[in-house]
């Protein structure tokens, strides 16, 4: 927990949005993180409800995982899925903990909109349909075939995405709380299903799961203060390595400084990751990022819940992992305050290794260039892999020339792609979702009154 000098109890929207996002597609079986800013106390809190390593029961041995390849970012990437790839999920516990600490509405009211979405299905955006072609090898095994590839054809943009039985799972969450997935009947079903596929997750793993509170990292940027968790991407630390006078550099010099800060990160992964950023009228903010990884291809029978593949994500496997240990991640929901302690921005991103570059570019655009939230999220970005700068179409050519002169090879992409992340960001003056992944932002002026979405 970090505290910043300030001067105002929060709404239920982040928890509701997290649960609602589980309907399209479901991330119930995954994990995530939340960063919360309390405007009344100036306190920043980071919650960890990411996945834990199973095996504390110690009564079965893991079977083999199933290798797959996913075409992404210009080449094939190797993953492993199946029951042995499933780690202990944290989203049900995490959503409930966010509500317990900061929610205002009754729990069942928070879950109701998600149940409605699960019963009706949702229209698949074009951007998500394009992503589906990349991740299909993880989504279509087992029950996923009837959902994502009905009649042998992958869903296209505009098609209805429907997960049979997901409304039943959500109704159980609303009525019985998260314990139904950890010590109740859904938990036992999870154990039986995973073990039938070669996994080791057992009753003790689920019963022992807890949401954790994490240390909060801090970095200054152009007179503002950025707060977030310490992640595998080292996002907050990366921001801290930017030159102290970065705001006074020329655009070309600044592009080189950003490339240098991002340089050398090798992980190039894709996954089913989602971010929700919420600010209420009092200036409280909550940012929640969740993921399934690529997805294990293991579904809870009759419930439309896809389980995570964290143990098959090689970049998440660190030397200290053992049964019962919490895994880490590249996700980093963050908040930004000014020198007086007032909230300026709440943001997070999907995109695995590109989360860091997506958020750094968004923060630089919003904080140093004074762009609106929408402009900052939509603005062209680049991502650095060792000495190669991958640049989106529309990135200023003079800045890319400066980067090239600094010794980088510039790869100019000719199309918009989900490769470059999926930021959602909101401040008191605006909100935006990322067009690269079909994101949207909306300002809710007063209860019952909405403003047009910002895309």
Nearest to 276 by CA among 327, 219, 342, 350: 350
What's the pLDDT at 120? 95
Place of tokens 């996994």: 199
Structural domain includes residue 409: yes
- pLDDT of 444 over the 90 cut: no
The answer to whether 96 and 18 have CB atoms below 8 angstroms apart is: no
The 8-class DSSP code of residue 143 comes to T
pLDDT band at 49 (very low <50, low <70, confident <90, very high): very high
- Is 270 a residue whose pLDDT tops 50? no
pLDDT at residue number 203: 98
Per the domain annotation, does 297 fall within a domain? yes
Q: Beta strand 273-279 with 285-291: parallel, antiparallel or unpaired?
A: antiparallel
* pLDDT tens digit sequence for 319-350: 888 999 999 898 899 999 999 999 999 999 88
Residue 59's domain spans which residues?
2-436
Domain for residue 446, yes or no? Answer: no
Q: What is the pLDDT of residue 233?
A: 84
CA 415 to CA 393: how far, in whole Å?
6
Q: How many domains would you assign to the chain?
A: 1
Asked whether the predicted pLDDT for residue 230 surpasses 60, the reply is yes
* Assigned domain for 10 exists: yes
Q: Considering only CA atoms, which of 29, 172, 178, 34 is closest in space to residue 93?
A: 178
C-alpha neighbours within 13 Å on the C-beta side of residue 13: 20
* Confidence class for position 44, pLDDT limits 50, 70, 90: very high
Band (200; pLDDT cuts 50, 70, 90): very high
> By percentage, how much of the chain surpasses pLDDT 70?
88
First to last CA, the chain: 33
Cα dihedral: 201, 206, 210, 216 (round 10): 30
Q: Are 298 and 73 in contact (CB under 8 A)?
A: no
Residue 21: pLDDT band with limits 50, 70, 90: very low
Q: What is the per-residue DSSP string for 320-331?
A: T--TTPBP--S-
Q: What is the CATH number of the domain that holds 172?
A: 3.60.20.40
Residue with tokens 């590109």: 354
Q: What is the pLDDT of residues 93-146, one digit of tens each?
A: 999 999 999 998 999 999 999 999 999 999 998 888 888 888 899 899 889 999
Q: Which two tokens stand for residue 152?
A: 């042998």
Most confident of 13-27, 343-357, 441-455: 343-357
The answer to whether position 444 is within a domain reads no
* Residue 441 in domain: no
- pLDDT exceeds 50 at position 207: yes
**Confidence label for 74 from pLDDT (cuts 50, 70 and 90):** low
The pTM of the full predicted model, rounded to 2 decimals, is 0.89
Give the total residue count for the chain: 455
What gap in Å lies between CA 6 and CA 447, rounded to an integer?
26
Token digits for 436?
Answer: 């690269």
Look at the block and give the residue holding tokens 């109890």: 9
Mean pLDDT of 27-54: 95
Q: Is 454 helix (H, G, I), strand (E, B) or coil?
A: strand
98 contact partners, CB below 8 Å, separation of at least 6: 14, 15, 18, 34, 36, 47, 286, 288
Q: Tens digit of pLDDT for each residue in 379-429?
A: 999 999 889 999 999 999 999 999 999 999 999 999 888 888 889 999 866
- Distance from C-alpha of 256 to C-alpha of 262, rounded to nearest angstrom: 10
Residue 55 in domain: yes
Residue-wise pLDDT tens digits, 237-269: 999 999 999 999 999 999 999 999 998 544 444
Mean pLDDT of all residues in 287-313: 94
pLDDT at 447 over 50: no
Residue 27: DSSP 8-state: -
Q: What's the whole-number mean pLDDT along residues 277-297? A: 90
Pick the closest to residue 380 from 398, 362, 404 (CA basis).
362
Residue 358, judged by CB atoms within 10 A of its CB (0-12, 13-18, 19+), counts as: buried
pLDDT at 159: 96
Residue 260 lies in a domain: yes
- Return the DSSP state at 379: S
- Residue 347 CA to residue 352 CA, distance in Å, equals 15
Q: How many CB atoms lie within 10 A of CB 142?
A: 17
Q: Which two tokens stand for residue 208?
A: 């022992």
8 A C-beta contact, residue 130 and residue 418:
yes
Can you give the pLDDT at residue 450? 44
């Amino acid at each position: 927990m970090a505290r910043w000098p300030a001067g105002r109890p929060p709404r239920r929207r982040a928890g509701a949005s997290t649960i609602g996002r589980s309907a399209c597609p479901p991330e119930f079986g995954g994990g995530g993180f939340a960063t919360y800013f309390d405007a009344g106390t100036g306190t920043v809190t980071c919650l960890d409800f990411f996945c834990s390593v199973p095996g504390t029961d110690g009564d079965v041995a893991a079977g083999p995982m199933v290798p797959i390849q996913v075409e992404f970012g210009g080449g094939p990437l190797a993953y492993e899925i199946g029951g042995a790839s499933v780690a202990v999920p944290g989203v049900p516990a995490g959503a409930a903990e966010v509500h317990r600490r900061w929610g205002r509405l009754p729990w069942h009211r928070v879950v109701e909109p998600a149940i409605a979405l699960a019963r009706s299905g949702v229209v698949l955006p074009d951007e998500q349909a394009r992503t589906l072609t990349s991740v299909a090898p993880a989504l279509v095994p087992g029950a996923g075939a009837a959902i994502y590839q009905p009649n042998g054809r992958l869903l296209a943009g505009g098609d209805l995405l429907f997960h049979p039985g997901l409304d039943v799972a959500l109704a159980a969450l609303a009525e019985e709380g998260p314990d139904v997935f950890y010590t109740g009947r859904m938990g036992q079903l999870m154990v039986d299903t995973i073990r039938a596929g070669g996994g080791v997750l057992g009753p003790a793993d689920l019963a022992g799961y807890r949401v954790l509170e994490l240390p909060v990292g801090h970095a200054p940027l152009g007179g503002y203060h950025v707060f977030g968790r310490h992640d595998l991407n080292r996002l907050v630390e990366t921001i801290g390595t930017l030159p102290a006078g970065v705001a006074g550099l020329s655009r070309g010099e600044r592009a080189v400084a950003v490339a240098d800060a991002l340089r050398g990160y090798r992980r190039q992964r894709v996954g089913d990751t989602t971010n929700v950023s919420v600010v209420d009228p009092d200036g409280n903010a909550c940012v929640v990022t969740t993921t399934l990884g690529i997805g294990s291809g293991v579904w809870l029978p009759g419930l439309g819940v896809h389980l995570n593949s964290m143990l098959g994500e090689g970049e998440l496997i660190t030397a200290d992992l053992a049964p019962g240990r919490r895994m880490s991640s590249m996700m980093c929901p963050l908040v930004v305050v000014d020198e007086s302690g007032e909230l300026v921005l709440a943001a997070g991103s999907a995109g695995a290794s590109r989360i860091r570059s997506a958020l750094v570019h968004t923060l630089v655009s919003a904080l140093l260039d004074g762009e609106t939230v929408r402009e900052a999220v939509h603005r062209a970005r680049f991502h650095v892999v060792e000495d190669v700068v991958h640049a989106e179409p529309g990135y200023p050519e003079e800045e890319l020339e400066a980067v090239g002169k600094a010794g980088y090879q510039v790869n100019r992409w000719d199309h918009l792609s989900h490769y470059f992340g999926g930021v959602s960001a909101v401040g008191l003056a605006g909100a935006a979702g990322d067009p690269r992944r079909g994101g949207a932002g909306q300002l809710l002026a007063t209860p019952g009154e909405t403003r047009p979405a910002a895309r």
